[in-house]
Amino acid sequence: NMINLIDKLSTTHTLSYDEMYQLIEHRNEELANYLFEKARQVRILYYGHDVYMRGLIEFTNYCRNDCYYCGIRKSNCNAERYRLTKEQILECCDVGYELGFRTFVLQGGEDGYYTDKILADIVSSIKAKYPDCAITLSLGEKSYESYKLLYEAGADRYLLRHETANAQHYSKLHPPVMSLKNRKQCLYNLKEIGYQVGCGFMVGSPFQTTECLVDDLMFIKELQPHMVGIGPFIPHKDTPFAGKPAGTLELTLFLLGIIRLMLPYVLLPATTALGTIHPKGRELGILAGANVVMPNLSPKEVRSKYLLYDNKICTGDEAAECRMCLTHRIESIGYKLVVSRGDCKKPN
Ligand code: 5AD
Ligand code: FES
């Protein structure tokens, strides 16, 4: 029965393809509560009640790609495009450092304006000013050489969601120029170079089946990433997926719980998308096994322009407001937002 499967997952950290399929298909509220309890136990064992925060700096919304789900895809001519200068990015870090952030995530579309040289200069300047901080990059697919150069410039971590580990599904979410094969190769390259790597996927993206989700979980198990970013798919009005339904809170939380049990040490964010589909989404995410939050440090003027999906939360709030808001939210469920780089406690 399903309780036994959760017990097996929590002691062996793995399930067969078939078992994983059955667990997802037969999930219900009672099973979910059992899963979350186990997920919290293992999370508390490794990370206590600490919640790590990362300051997200969305520095460009130009993108050469045309992913069908994404609001900043190149075909969306309604998107108001912007780029931040190195000085503006450093100002975001200044504000963030004062608020206790010790990880900065530089995220952007795949924007050719930022050459390796420009990016390396931005990374090394942040690192020189804040040597006690970790730098995470989230810039999409690049060559091995570019990844290596940025690592040598001082980047510590890289987030590149695989989006779906099922090749057929991948081709329904992306134009033919993009491939799952290249996506996976990028993740293996990043790992080989020495980055702490994060993969991830959207829950409830169009055409996703339970088989796709099991493929995602099996890929995650194989990659052994330090971080896994998952959040519900939310439609954006100016994309080909405009009329598609959003992913659910319920399935996203269940998958967070499973991932915590599969990879006890993993850094698992309660994402902004989760906070967007439900007012208590991020708190519920933490109670399902997540241990990271990633509020926005982008300047207020550009916040409402980095819209990957509709109704994104916090687009009108200052960084300091989000910091306070999250402190209260996290304390309200008995956890604590900490000032720390928040490295993965994985032994290797
Ligand atoms: N809904 C939810 N998440 C999205 N992303 C992109 N578009 C959407 C959307 N419409 C996610 C992708 C990407 C990350 C930065 O944001 O998974 O990797
Ligand atoms: Fe931004 Fe609550 S986290 S206002």
Q: How far apart are alpha carbons 142 and 148 in whole angstroms? A: 10
Q: Ligand 2: which atom is nearest the Cα of residue 282? A: 3
Q: Could you tell me the pLDDT band of residue 184, with boundaries at 50, 70 and 90?
A: very high
Burial zone of 77 (CB within 10 Å; 0-12 exposed, 13-18 middle, 19+ buried)? exposed
- One DSSP character per residue, 246-268 reads PPPHHHHHHHHHHHHHHSTT-B-
Q: pLDDT, tens digit, for every residue of 67-116?
A: 999 999 999 999 999 999 999 999 999 999 999 999 999 999 999 999 99
The 3-state secondary structure of 295-333 reads: CECCCHHHHCCCCCCCCCCCCCCCHHHHHHHHHHHHHHC
Q: Looking at residue 347, what is its pLDDT? A: 76
Ligand in closest contact with the CA of 238: 1
Ligand in closest contact with the CA of 274: 1
Please, are residues 293 and 269 in contact by the beta-carbon 8 Å criterion?
A: yes
- Averaged pLDDT for residues 55-66: 98
Q: Whose CA is nearest to atom 13 of ligand 1?
A: 161
Helix 144-152, helix 116-129: angle, nearest 10:
20
- DSSP helix/strand/coil, 284: helix
User: What percent of the chain is modeled with pLDDT above 70?
Assistant: 100
Phi, psi of 170 (to 5 degrees): -55, -40
| pLDDT, position 348 | 63
ipTM value for the complex:
0.97
Contact, 198 vs 225, CB < 8 A? yes
Best substitution site from 69, 107, 169 to test ligand 1's pocket, by max atoms within 8 Å of Cβ?
A: 69
DSSP 8-state assignment for residue 244: S
| Closest ligand to the CA of 198 | 1
Compute the distance from residue 233 Cα to the ligand 1 centre, in Å: 7
The ligand with the least distance to the CA atom of 279 is 2
* Nearest ligand by distance to the CA of 161: 1
Ligand 2 atom at minimal distance to the Cα of residue 325: 2
The yes-or-no verdict on residue 225 having pLDDT over 90 is yes
pLDDT for residue 226 is more than 70:
yes
Buried residues in 197-235 as b, exposed as e (16+ CB within 10 A)? bbbbbbbbbbebeeebbbbbbbbbbebebbbbbbbbbbb
Q: Which of 283, 322, 330 is the best mutation target for the ligand 2 pocket, counting ligand atoms within 8 Å of the beta carbon and taking the most?
A: 322
Distance 227 CA to ligand 1 centre (A): 16
- What average pLDDT does range 19-36 have in this prediction? 98
Q: What is the mean pLDDT of residues 290-310?
A: 96
Q: Whose CA is nearest to atom 4 of ligand 2?
A: 322
Please give the distance, rounded to the nearest whole angstrom, from the Cα atom of residue 202 to the centre of ligand 1: 7
Q: Which fold has domain 18-338?
A: TIM Barrel (3.20.20)
The C-alpha atoms of residue 114 and residue 120 are separated, in whole angstroms, by 9
> Residue of the nearest CA to atom 1 in ligand 2?
322
Length of the chain: 348
Protein residues whose CB sits closer than 6 Å to any atom of ligand 2:
295, 314, 317, 321-322, 325-326
Mutate to test the pocket of ligand 1, among 67, 164, 233, 307 (most ligand atoms within 8 A of CB): 233
| Secondary structure (3-state) at 288 | coil
Q: How far is the CA of 322 from the centre of ligand 2 (A)?
A: 4
Ligand 2 atom, smallest distance to 313 CA: 1
Average pLDDT, the chain: 98
In this prediction, residue 346 has a pLDDT band, given cuts at 50, 70 and 90, of: confident
Q: Which atom of ligand 1 is nearest to the CA of 163?
A: 17
> Which band of pLDDT confidence, cut at 50, 70 and 90, is reported for residue 328?
very high
pLDDT, position 23: 98
* Nearest ligand 1 atom to alpha carbon 308: 7
Question: Of ligand 2's atoms, which has the minimum distance to the CA of residue 323?
Answer: 3
